[in-house]
Amino acid sequence: MRTAKKNIQRLEFIAVGSELLSSSFPETNSLFLAEKLEQAGLNLTFKTVVSDRWSELQEVIRTARERSQIIFLSGGLGPTEDDRTKEALARVVRRRLIFNPEILKRIKKRFASRGLAMPASNKKQAYLIEGAEILENPHGTAPGQWLETGGKIFILLPGPPSEFKPMVENLVLPRLKNLSQKKIIKAFFKITGAGESWVEDRIKEVYKKLPPYLELTILASPGDLQIILSLKIDSEDQEAERTQELEKIKLKITRLLGDKIYAFEPRTLEQVVAEKLINLKKTIATAESCSGGLLAHRLTNIPGSSNYFQLGLVTYSNEAKIKLLSVPKTTIKEKGAVSAEVARAMASGLLKKADVDLAVAITGIAGPGGGSPKKPVGLVYLGLASSDGIEVEKCHFLGTREQIKFQATQKALDMVRLKLLKLEHRSGALKRKVS
């Protein structure tokens, strides 16, 4: 590893897989890798995508060996015949593949834990390039490999992101950090309830006066927005001053965007809401029409969600709204299922039914059909009921069916977040009074 330490100039990422050259499969592992490398002050110099054909795979590995010092290879470690990344690398560096009984044992155990016998084809995954170290893969059968040879480091990782990501994070990065002197510090702002141009306009004064060592990026998707500040530190003596400058700019942005910011880390809105629900010991129930269960799904994606999530109803039909949520038949008839009144009735009915602290309801038109001039696709009403009463909001979202579903749940989660913020302040004030 000492040889490489002096020469870290070029890091190359190679994604192996014919499907990644087609129109249907975007390559995403490199984005995750780049993010983690940036945190360690490292950058990729080249990214290459190649099919799993012998000749081309070997060519690409040869080219990478000539021009780069650290070479990541992702994919092609599976049990099938066209998984041949390690075979190709072994040929290029002229090493043998050596059978490792320990790895085989682990693979067999993995199958056995599900009551299955290991198919014969998986034996292939128990071979290691001569001289390589094993990188354990807790989420799949293919172990990774770390090979240093000829002053170069080759890092072989499995292609499925669910296996690739934790291995990069837990096994590869700690080793690479030792190799880097530079540092990048990032600050995150996660934002909802505001559009990209609004945010841009709002923080213009900060944006225009950024020092050269500070980069600001805005990433926008329907219903969710992220600002990333990247601070470059080239040497230790800059660290204190630059970090202070970063803190000042963070404060300014925070003041300008206020409670539109829901997190200062790259977290999801449901993670933030879940944490608040748990801290405040509040319970929640959902009643969804157009969002079709997505709100419940998002709220239950968080481990431990049974602590706060009690009940979710997907009342798609009018009968279900009437029967399960006691929405008056006449309200639906007079105002329509997509109306402020029905959103209110759904939330209030749910609060009574579910015996929870917060009851959220969504009714709207996800499209692409079902819209009309008076009630267009994307029109959504949301209700939030608690012991404080019922709030109702009207929104008009743009986008595809899935984007409208997402934005509706995002808005619902944000209403819950703002409600919980108030409760936090209240309980804070109460504590201050008591003490």
In the range 213-252, which residues lie near a copy of itself by CB under 8 A?
215, 217-222, 228
Q: Which of residues 19-58 bind a copy of itself (CB under 8 A)?
A: 19-28, 30-32, 34-35, 38, 43-51, 56
The span from the CA of 214 to the CA of 228, in Å, is: 10
Query: In the numeric block, which tokens belong to residue 78?
Result: 């599976």
- Rounded to a whole number, what is the distance in angstroms from the first to the last CA of the chain? 58
How many Cβ atoms sit within 10 Å of the Cβ of residue 231?
21
Q: Which is nearer to a copy of itself, 7 or 121 (CB)?
A: 121
Minimum distance from residue 284 beta carbon to a copy of itself (Å): 10
Under rule CB under 8 A, residue 315 binds a copy of itself: yes
Judge contact between 262 and 70, C-beta under 8 A: no
The span from the CA of 220 to the CA of 265, in Å, is: 16
The span from the CA of 189 to the CA of 229, in Å, is: 9
Label residue 324 left, alpha or beta by phi (over 0 means left) and psi (-120 to 50 means alpha).
Answer: alpha
Q: Which is nearer to a copy of itself, 290 or 423 (CB)?
A: 290
The one-character DSSP state at 168 is I
DSSP 20-63: GGSSS----HHHHHHHHHHHTT---SEEEEE-S-HHHHHHHHHH
Strands 144-149 and 133-135, bridge-based pairing? antiparallel
Q: Which is nearer to a copy of itself, 9 or 243 (CB)?
A: 9
Q: Which of residues 351-370 bind a copy of itself (CB under 8 A)?
A: 354, 366-370
Select from 319, 342, 335 the least CA-distant residue to 392.
342
Minimum distance from residue 409 beta carbon to a copy of itself (Å): 9
Select from 94, 88, 69, 52 the least CA-distant residue to 13.
69
Q: How far is CA 228 from CA 202, 220, 383, 431, in A?
A: 16, 11, 32, 35
Q: Which is nearer to a copy of itself, 196 or 424 (CB)?
A: 196
Among 76, 78, 143, 383, binds a copy of itself (CB under 8 A): 78
Rg (CA), the chain: 27
Under rule CB under 8 A, residue 313 binds a copy of itself: yes
Among 4, 104, 173, 311, binds a copy of itself (CB under 8 A): 311
Q: Which is nearer to a copy of itself, 44 or 97 (CB)?
A: 44
Minimum distance from residue 370 beta carbon to a copy of itself (Å): 8
Interacting stretch for a copy of itself, rule CB under 8 A, among 147-155, 272-280, 299-307, 341-349?
299-307
Minimum distance from residue 44 beta carbon to a copy of itself (Å): 5
What string marks each residue from 138 to 177 as x (binds a copy of itself by CB under 8 A) or -?
-x--------------------x-x---------------
Q: Which is nearer to a copy of itself, 132 or 346 (CB)?
A: 346
Torsion of CA 374, 375, 377, 378, to 10 degrees: 120
Q: Which is nearer to a copy of itself, 132 or 290 (CB)?
A: 290
Q: How many residues lie near a copy of itself (CB under 8 A)?
A: 103
Minimum distance from residue 25 beta carbon to a copy of itself (Å): 8
What string marks each residue from 84 to 123 as x (binds a copy of itself by CB under 8 A) or -?
-----------------------------xxx---xxxx-
Q: Which of residues 390-429 bind a copy of itself (CB under 8 A)?
A: 396, 398-403, 405
